[in-house]
Structure 1
Amino acid sequence: MKKMTEARREAILAAAKTLFEEVGFEQATMSELTARQGGSKATLYRYFNSKEALFQELLQRSAREHSGAMFAMLHPCGGSGNELPPDAMEALALLNPEQDVTSTLKVFAERGLKTFQSLRRIATRRILIAAASNAEVGTQFYEHGPRRGMQMLARYFEGVMNAGQLRRADPWVAACHFRALVESEVDEPGLFNARPDLTDEQIHATVARAVDIFMRAYGPA
């Protein structure tokens, strides 16, 4: 019975996510969600007492996924790693302050673009941006998602700076610059739904240009 209840809850969340992506948070209604799910509105309200509660759950999940994916790619900077998914292992093995920084950053950035610049992820991001008009919601997502990932990236840069593979600088600023360079060619078109999903060739070329510029700025003297 518990498994059936949990399955029903997950189905509601999946349908709500699709609805929010299609029409936005403001236009979505519990009535429309009930119509898509079947059953009664009373059943829906037994799981979630409001549209806001549904969105809050999806928000928390998205933040965990964001930080978790970033953590998987940056895992050598700290943590046990036993629970990492297979697709994170290659990046995990390379993100080591003792290994070549240029090669490491290319692998990491390519994985990052594939993960965070997919049209599916960007659709979720649009919802979060709209919901961030509520400062509490926006702050919660930022602190538990993007900020945590950037802190892990900054720790990696601190390690390679200590190892003399990059010039000494503020690791947080370096992380911000690196992310901005990697996303600069693709983020805005993706956000405005003005491009298709990136091909492997596009990702490879975009990352090569970004890493080249970054290393010109932060490479050792």
Structure 2
Amino acid sequence: MDTLSPTPRPHRPSARRKEARPGELLEAALALFVEKGFAATRVEEVAARAGVSKGTLFLYFPSKEELFKAVVRENASRHLHDAFLEVAEYAGTSAELLHEFIRRWWTQYGGTPAAGLTKLIMSEAANFPDLAQYYQDEVVQPSHELVRRIVQRGIDRGELREVDLTLAAHLIVAPLVQLVTWRFSLAPCCPATLMPDPLALLDMHADMVVRGLRQE
């Protein structure tokens, strides 16, 4: 009697490794939040884009708000945590460190899809103050604190002159915010020639900041 070989089972999305799902959900959520905004994004859409059910999404993230917070942590907060460690261990000059911080900001955040979170928060903060405060606590304030530490390091080492650290942080960070605001608002509908090369722009920004902060 002929024996029948078993029929192969079709591959199903649910057969994927469980540990892969949170990352896929966060990637899908980031794309939709940036594309549609927080209010217009439905959790069903996020689950569908990630290839899982809505119930599976809620196993990892109990609400859309918690999903958004996880997206912020994954795409911004963790980079800042690493940056604080690198500043503490940096062996070069403070001018070099400031250049490195500004360039790294672009490669790890400003030039990535995650930078769309900045525009999202600016446009929807009034309607979602709790999420805006979370972003302020997780991203804005740590970013400013990181810049203050870099400038203070330069002052302590006699490389930079005494300045108001709070004002310096605002002045250094403001062009970075403007760059991503342009990228996700006007750039898509304006001629590419109006937008300079981002890294060239940031290098000039860092150079002008350092020249303004150096001891006379």
Q: TM-score, normalised by structure 2?
A: 0.71
Partner of 1:213: 208
- Aligned residue pairs, count: 195
Which of 27, 31, 47 is matched with 2:40 structurally? 27
Alpha-carbon displacement from aligned partner over 1:64-84 (angstroms, at most 9, x marks no partner): 2342354255243xxxxxxxx
**Letter of the aligned partner of 2:21 in structure 1?**
R
49-58 or 156-165, larger mean C-alpha shift: 49-58
CA distance in 1, matches of 2:28, 2:203: 38
Please identify runs of 4+ aligned residues in structure 1 that moved more than 4 A. none
CA distance in 1, matches of 2:113, 2:178: 18
Q: CA deviation at 1:187?
A: 3.8
Q: Which runs of 5+ in 2 are unaligned?
A: 1-15
Secondary structure at the counterpart of residue 192 of structure 1:
coil
Partner of 1:167: 161
Contact 2:79–2:108 (CA<8 Å) still a contact in 1? no
Do the aligned partners of residues 203 and 75 (structure 1) sit closer, same or farther apart at CA in structure 2, a change above 3 Å counting? farther
- Does residue 149 in structure 1 map to residue 143 in structure 2? yes
CA distance in 2, matches of 1:6, 1:218: 47
- Does residue 10 in structure 1 map to residue 23 in structure 2? yes
40-49 or 144-153, larger mean C-alpha shift: 40-49
- After superposition, the CA RMSD in angstroms is 3.2
**Letter of the aligned partner of 2:111 in structure 1?**
S
Q: Which runs of 5+ in 1 are unaligned?
A: 77-91
CA distance in 2, matches of 1:141, 1:209: 28
Partner of 1:86: none
Written as runs of structure 1 = structure 2, the 5 A alignment for 1:90-109 is 92-94=90-92, 99=93, 101-109=94-102
Partner of 1:194: 187
Q: TM-score, normalised by structure 1?
A: 0.70
Identity of aligned residues (%): 24
